[in-house]
Structure 1
Amino acid sequence: MTGLLGGAFQPLAGIAQTSLPSCPPPATAEYLLLIRGEDAADRDRIVSVLPQENPVLICEYAGEVIVRAGGFTQLETANAWATYMDDIEGYEAFVSVEPGQAEPIAYQPQPLRSGYAVLVDYDHSLATVAAVERLIDQPVGLAAYQQRPYLLIEHTEDAVTAVEQLEQLSQANFIAVLVDGEQVVRLTEAIAAIATEPE
C-alpha cells in the first residue's frame, strides 16, 4: 500500500551496502518517492520506469538500499507514481515529505467509466508530454493500461471524437492507441506537474 513515509519499510537482511550514500531528505516544498527493490535487477527496472527528468539516486535508508526519486512538487503526482509502482509494477513505494510539512490527503486513482480512451505511449519522456500538449492544446494526464503507463489524451463516449483524436496523434507520429475506457486507470490529471528543475 502506498502512503506517506513513517518508518514504513522493514529492513531486508543483507541488502544494505555501506559504499552507498545515505538518502538525502526532501528539500523545501519537495516530495520524494522512495521505492523498495530487493535486488539490483529490481532497482534497475525501477529506475528505467521513473520519469527521465526526475533526479534518481540509489541510496541507503533505514539499513536497506532503495531507489529515491526527487523533484516532485505536487503530492498528487508523487502519490500517483507511488500507486503505479505499488499496484502496477509490484514494488513497495512511499512518499516522503519535508519534516514539519502538513500531511495532506493522498490521491486515489480511479478506473475510467465506460467509453473510449485515447492513450499515447510516451516512454517516460516529458519531452513527449510537452509535444503532445502543444499539439492538442490542453494538459494530459497519466494513466495505467495493461500494467504500463500512458498519457491519457481523451476519454469520451463519442467514438467519432475518439477516432479523430487518434488520427491527429498518429499523423503527428505519436504512438497512440484507442482502447476500452473501463480497462484504464487514471493516475493523475496532469503529468506535467512532474517536471521540475534538477536538484
Structure 2
Amino acid sequence: MKPFYRSTLATLLWGTSAFFAPLLMATTLASAQSDPPVCPPPGDQEYLLLVRGEDEAERSDIASILPVESSVIICRYLDEVLVRAGGFTQLETVNAWASYMSSEADYESFVIRPGDQINDQTVASGSTSPETVPETTTAPVIETEPETEPETESETAPEATAPIETEPETAPEATVSPEATETQSAAAPITPTFEPTRLETGYAVLVDYSSNPEIAETLSQLVSSVGLAVYQQRPYLLASYSESEDTAATTLQELSNAQLAAVVVDAQEVVQISKSVVISNN
C-alpha cells in the first residue's frame, strides 16, 4: 500500500540518505573492522545505542539498519566489538530503536545514558561482562531507587525523636510526605511501557517528529492518544490506527492542516513500540 501523502522535501531527503548510506557505511566499516577503537562515551544530553553482532557480516547488517543521521561506528566495549549509534537526544527514541533491533532484527541491544563512562577504566574497575550493561543503563529501574532512600531516612528520624516530644513526629510527616508524593508522581511518567507489536490489517497515520517534543505536544491536542512506532526502520509518532480508510484520510487531512508531516501507511508494515508516550508540558 503506497502512502497517501508525504512531503516532497522528506521524500528527497530520504532518497538522498538511502543513496549515500551504503557508501558512508562501507567507508566506516572498512576502517573499523580491522582495528576498532574503544567506544567513546556519550556526550552531554546524548543517548547511545550499542548493538551486538557476532561477526563482520552481522555488524555490517546492523549498521545498514540503523538511521543514517546517527553517527554509526564499529568499536570495542568490554573487550567485545559492537556497533555504536550516537546522536540520540530523546530516551523514547533510543528505546524504540533498541526494542526494534531486539524484537524485529533479532540483535541484542543496550542503551547508554548521558554520564555513563565507556573507556578502559570502566572495563578495569567495572563489570566483567557486557550482560550487566542493561542494569546500568535502564533508566526507569535505577531512577526509582533514590526515591526510597529519603523514606528510610524519614522513618529513622522520628524514631530517634519520639521519646522526647510528639511535635517532632508530626513535623517530618508534614515535610517529607509531600516531597515523596511529588517525586513519585514526577517519576511515574518517566517509565513508559515498551511492548513492540506489529499492527494488523488497517491504516496507520504516522507523524515524523524529528526528535522535536513540540511536535508531540501539538499532536496530542489533535488526537486522543499519541503512540510511538517504527516504520521502514525509522521512528514515528503513531497518531491513529484504524481499519477504515476514510477515518485515516480524515485524520491525515486534519494533521496536514496543522502543518504536521503526516503519512498514511499500511498498518501491517508498522511496529508499535508504545501505545502512549509521555509528553512534557513545561
The CA RMSD measured in Å over matched residues stands at 4.3
Aligned equivalent of 2:74: 58
Deviation of 1:178 after TM superposition, in Å, equals: 3.3
Aligned equivalent of 1:104: 139
Give runs of aligned pairs for residues 11-26 of structure 1, distance below 5 A.
19-26=35-42
Q: After superposition, what is the alpha-carbon deviation per residue over 1:67-122, rounded to whole angstroms, capped at 9, x for unaligned?
A: 111111222221111111111100000011223999621643244898944256x9
Aligned residues: 163
Are 1:178 and 2:266 matched, yes or no?
Answer: yes
Contact 2:66/2:233 (8 A) holds in 1: no
| Same amino acid, percent of matched pairs | 39
**Cα distance, 1:113–1:93 mapped onto 2, change above 3 Å:** closer
**Cα distance, 1:103–1:175 mapped onto 2, change above 3 Å:** closer
| 1:154 partner letter | A
Aligned with residue 86 of structure 2, among 61, 67, 70: 70
Contact 1:152/1:186 (8 A) holds in 2: no
Deviation of 1:19 after TM superposition, in Å, equals: 1.8
Task: Supply the distance in 2 between the matched residues of 1:78 and 1:30 (Cα, whole angstroms).
Answer: 10
Q: Hey, which of these two has a bigger chunk of strand by percent?
A: 1
Task: Supply the distance in 1 between the matched residues of 2:274 and 2:65 (Cα, whole angstroms).
Answer: 15
Contact 1:115/1:155 (8 A) holds in 2: no
* TM-score after normalising by structure 1: 0.59
**Cα distance, 1:52–1:60 mapped onto 2, change above 3 Å:** same
Aligned equivalent of 1:94: 110
Task: Supply the distance in 1 between the matched residues of 2:57 and 2:275 (Cα, whole angstroms).
Answer: 28
- Structure with max Cα Rg: 2
Contact 2:229/2:238 (8 A) holds in 1: no
Structure 1 unmatched ranges of 5 or more: 1-16, 191-199
Deviation of 1:149 after TM superposition, in Å, equals: 5.0
Are 1:49 and 2:51 matched, yes or no?
Answer: no
Deviation of 1:186 after TM superposition, in Å, equals: 3.0
Task: Supply the distance in 2 between the matched residues of 1:99 and 1:143 (Cα, whole angstroms).
Answer: 27
Give runs of aligned pairs for residues 50-199 of structure 1, distance below 5 A.
50-97=66-113, 98-99=115-116, 104-105=139-140, 107-110=192-195, 111=197, 116-118=202-204, 138=219, 142-144=228-230, 151-157=236-242, 159=244, 160-164=246-250, 176-179=264-267, 184-187=271-274
Task: Supply the distance in 2 between the matched residues of 1:107 and 1:60 (Cα, whole angstroms).
Answer: 31
> Which structure has the higher relative contact order (CA within 8 Å, separation 6+)?
1
Task: Supply the distance in 1 between the matched residues of 2:46 and 2:199 (Cα, whole angstroms).
Answer: 33
Q: Hey, which of these two has a bigger chunk of helix by percent?
A: 2
Structure 2 unmatched ranges of 5 or more: 1-32, 118-135, 141-190, 221-225, 256-261, 278-282
* TM-score after normalising by structure 2: 0.44
Residue 99 of structure 1: SS of its match in structure 2?
coil
